[in-house]
């Protein structure tokens, strides 16, 4: 995919809309578009460096908004937190999953969506447990096998929301991309 002015503007809008979506009050935790964006960016953007920017910039902008809201007492969630760099690395790795997605193959997109959400669930929770994280009540996870299992159990609601969100947003992103290419870009080429 070549990046022209309208494509660049579209991606900038996509980044800001996704960032704002992530900070909506009352949104179910884990229901965010960033995993789908990482897969989409890895699949659609031919410049590999640019494909990483799509989800990471969206994450950074939403983290910045969270931090501003937190500093004014409008959000209990801080935007800057321990493990933030690890979280960004995980999203970069999800972008790599997108490299193998065949854009016109629904099963390829579905498989990548499930793989991306599962990879994030397994990796982020393992790292949270290993790095001394705590549960929702701020009780540290024991450094035992049962502590690791408890960590994963606590994250299951987030995982369900993450899978659902990734499927929904992948459908929107890949479906929208397909429709634009099919009905807008192909008509412009045919007219020219």
CATH topology (fold) of 5-191: Arp2/3 complex 21 kDa subunit ARPC3 (1.10.1760)
Asked if 22 and 152 touch (Cβ cutoff 8 Å), the reply is no
Give the phi and the psi of residue 140 in degrees, each rounded to 5.
-65, 145
pLDDT of amino acid 19: 75
Answer whether residue 29 shows pLDDT above 80. Answer: yes
- Which residue shows structure tokens 């799509």? 54
pLDDT of amino acid 22: 78
Q: What does the pLDDT look like over 105-131, one tens digit per residue?
A: 999 999 999 999 999 999 999 999 999
Does residue 135 sit in helix, strand or coil? coil
pLDDT of amino acid 8: 65
Q: How far apart are CA 96 and CA 48, in angstroms?
A: 9
pLDDT of amino acid 126: 96
Tokens of 102: 């065949």
Name the strand (E) or helix (H) holding 6.
Answer: helix 5-22
pTM of the model: 0.85
pLDDT of amino acid 132: 87
Asked if 159 and 117 touch (Cβ cutoff 8 Å), the reply is yes
Answer whether residue 92 shows pLDDT above 90. Answer: yes
pLDDT of amino acid 154: 94
pLDDT of amino acid 181: 78
| Alpha-carbon distances of 108 from 90, 169, 182, rounded to whole Å | 20, 15, 19
């Amino acid at each position: 995919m070549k990046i022209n002015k309208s494509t660049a503007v579209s991606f900038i809008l996509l980044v800001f809309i996704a960032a704002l979506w992530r900070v909506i009050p009352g949104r179910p935790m884990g229901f965010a578009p960033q995993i789908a964006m990482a897969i989409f960016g890895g699949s659609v953007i031919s410049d590999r460096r640019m494909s990483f920017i799509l989800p990471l910039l969206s994450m950074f902008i939403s983290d910045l908004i969270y931090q501003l809201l937190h500093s004014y007492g409008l959000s209990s969630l801080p935007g800057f937190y321990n493990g933030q760099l690890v979280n960004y690395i995980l999203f970069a790795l999800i972008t790599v999953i997108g490299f193998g997605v065949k854009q016109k193959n629904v099963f390829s997109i579905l498989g990548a969506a499930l793989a991306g959400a599962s990879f994030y669930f397994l990796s982020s929770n393992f790292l949270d447990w290993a790095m001394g994280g705590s549960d929702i009540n701020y009780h540290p996870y024991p450094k035992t096998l049962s502590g690791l299992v408890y960590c994963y159990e606590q994250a299951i609601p987030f995982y369900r929301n993450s899978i659902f969100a990734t499927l929904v947003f992948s459908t929107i992103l890949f479906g929208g991309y397909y429709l634009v290419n099919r009905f807008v870009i192909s008509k412009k080429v045919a007219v020219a």
